[in-house]
Structure 1
Amino acid sequence: MLADLVAGALHDASERRAARSLADVETDALARPAALDALSALAPRDTVRVIAEVKRASPSRGSLADIPDPAALAAAYETGGASAISVLTEGRKFKGSLADLEAVRASVAVPVLRKDFIADPYQVFEARAAGADLVLLIVAALEQPLLTELFDLVNQLGMTPLVETHSADEVERALDLGADLVGVNARDLSTFELDQDLFGRLVDRIPSGVIRVAESAVKTPADVAHYRRAGADVVLVGEALVTGDPVATLTEFLAV
């Protein structure tokens, strides 16, 4: 599944590049105001932080919510106390777009993450041109030389890489990059199976100075508490927010 998602994302990026050159997108990226400081926004505190996600669908669950106005949803997330907003920009399985990201960026004052299957520098320039402050890099999707190239480019453009892992080896690869923000995804992106205890097994490998993000399998305050007890500084939440009352749900999660 992960290989298919990456291949589809690269194909779609190549079509966008045919319509708008890398040079033009790079110009747009460099003309943007400086990215927001995501590391400060997500720094550990006495209570958990939440990255709230604009997510219409997923390969495992299909359609989740129509979200006709992603900017309004993001504004509700900010009102509810989210420290950052994640925007799915993958169109095939997640029904997202860069237009969603641009709309969200214009509506909130907190950092915005481009969540997609990034495997080409063009996509990184697109992210900055659309106003992203963070870019997701999935270790399982990238060989180390390309991961390093993309990681360095994200930083050079003033953004923050969120480096996603799913195993001890992947955590080591993330730390070898010098990542300051490391996610552990409970969902195996090859099989889409969930293991909520994976974060707890890997967290001790992530040094204290690195912000630890628990991703997936967050549906209830008890799930947030589970990750918090294991050592998560941040939880990334999508489905539970888009399928319920986003502000009320965030309030419950942030009380953990």
Structure 2
Amino acid sequence: MEGLISLKSSPGTSLRSFPSFNQPPNSFARRFSMDLPLRRSSFPAIRAQHPGTISPKEEEEEDALKVKEWEVGMFQNEVAASQGIRIRRRPPTGPPLHYVGPFEFRLQNDGNTPRNILEEIVWHKDTEVSQMKERRPLATLKKFIENAPPTRDFVGALKAAHSRTGLPGLIAEVKKASPSRGILREDFDPVEIARAYEKGGAACLSVLTDEKFFKGSFENLEAIRNAGVQCPLLCKEFVIDAWQIYYARIKGADAILLIAAVLPDLDIRYMVKICKMLGLAALVEVHDEREMDRVLGIEGIELIGINNRNLETFEVDISNTKKLLEGERGQLICQKDIIVVGESGLFTPDHVGYVQEAGVKAVLVGESIVKQSDPGKGITGLFGRDISL
């Protein structure tokens, strides 16, 4: 029956003959998790070009990488688990969207209950992105990118701020709510908050685009960009599909967040290449030693964010930053000239000083400044002095 099995995919995805199902699934996943990064590395590096200028060769490489991503997606949770990723991309059980044969037959049971808030977010995002892709296919997004303005230098802005102030460059977060804290600011005007951040000395801005859990939107990102705010913008999204990177680009993003707790190495490699092709910076977020080691093994990483919040329990411990930057890891980061961004739990000048001493050159802060009546003054309070221009 091996050669007779028909598997469906999303529109526009090329299918190849699928490997034998006589192999145990875990064996198949291990083979792909070890083999695919090597195959990907054989592709020439995709160089950043003027946004929208994508050569036929690059499109062929992108399509080939996407096929591999699809193939691994058939056993995505198994591949992720082999790399220590506990967040499942989608429910492992439950009725399929359409019948595709006995190997996709699944039953509804307790496996459909998210094990933590991050998994709940990711499962919802999987459904949300699928619907958005149907309304706005990738081919449509690429046409919009052709007319998009150039991206701003996100990494350069952080370096310049650090050089100017002697303090970590600030990525100030435009955030209305969070699952752990609820509504942070009732009188939420994203453009006015962004302007206050810029006036207060922020080097870059982070804009939450998740609607259900953080009350954000891509419209907020677009409004801030169109309002003339000069700070480079990070799209703070739970990225599970390269489509989201293209969408962020046309909405005005200059950088995008990739979360190692969610994305296997294969996805991170692929998405970093897409970011470079579109002129975007990629902030790759880690929160434990294993994730840090995985990300340090990936070529082309320029920014690593250390989240002091446990993404499963949402507990915060800023000593996590120091722990992840000690010893050989810290030395390797210096050798690779990677900028480390401290994230979560930063409320006072002492907190900022602690993570700076540990080795960070930038900090991403939201709650402690967005809740202030004057976010600009909140920045002064965070650093202990005025850092505005």
Name the TM-score class by shorter chain. Answer: over 0.9
1:216 aligned onto 2:323 = no
The Cα RMSD (Å) is 1.4
Aligned twin of 2:208: 88
Letter in 1 for 2:234: L
Could you say what secondary structure the match of 1:188 adopts?
coil
**Deviation by residue 1:200-250 (Cα, 9 ceiling, x = unmatched):** 011231412111100000122222122122221111100011111311111
CA distance in structure 2 between the partners assigned to 1:254 and 1:231 by the alignment:
16
Aligned identity (percent) is 39
Larger RCO, structures 1/2 (Cα 8 Å, 6+ apart): 1
Could you say what secondary structure the match of 1:140 adopts?
coil
CA distance in structure 2 between the partners assigned to 1:231 and 1:135 by the alignment:
22
Structure 1 length as normaliser, TM-score? 0.95
**Deviation by residue 1:82-128 (Cα, 9 ceiling, x = unmatched):** 00000000011100000010011123111100001001011000110
Aligned twin of 1:143: 264
Number of corresponding residues: 256
Q: Is the 8 A contact 2:179 2:214 kept in 1?
A: yes
CA distance in structure 1 between the partners assigned to 2:181 and 2:189 by the alignment:
21
- Structure 2 residues not aligned, in runs of 5+: 1-116
Moved over 4 A (4+): none
Q: Is the 8 A contact 2:348 2:383 kept in 1?
A: no
| 1:1-256 correspondence to structure 2 within 5 Å | 1-43=117-159, 44-45=162-163, 46-107=166-227, 108-177=229-298, 178-204=300-326, 205-206=329-330, 207-208=333-334, 209-244=337-372, 245-255=374-384
Q: Is the 8 A contact 2:168 2:363 kept in 1?
A: yes
Task: State the Cα distance separating 1:68 from its structure 2 match.
Answer: 3.6
Could you say what secondary structure the match of 1:141 adopts?
coil
CA distance in structure 1 between the partners assigned to 2:378 and 2:196 by the alignment:
11
Task: State the Cα distance separating 1:173 from its structure 2 match.
Answer: 1.8
Structure 2 length as normaliser, TM-score? 0.64
Letter in 1 for 2:355: Y
Task: State the Cα distance separating 1:26 from its structure 2 match.
Answer: 2.1
Could you say what secondary structure the match of 1:132 adopts?
coil
Q: Is the 8 A contact 1:47 1:255 kept in 2?
A: no
Letter in 2 for 1:140: A
Cα 1:115/1:31, change in 2 over 3 Å: same
- Structure 1 residues not aligned, in runs of 5+: none
Q: Is the 8 A contact 1:52 1:85 kept in 2?
A: yes
**Deviation by residue 1:43-101 (Cα, 9 ceiling, x = unmatched):** 14222211000111111111111354211110110000000000000011100000010
Q: Is the 8 A contact 1:29 1:130 kept in 2?
A: no
Q: More strand by proportion, 1 or 2?
A: 1
Letter in 1 for 2:349: P
**Deviation by residue 1:18-63 (Cα, 9 ceiling, x = unmatched):** 2222211222133212211111111142222110001111111111
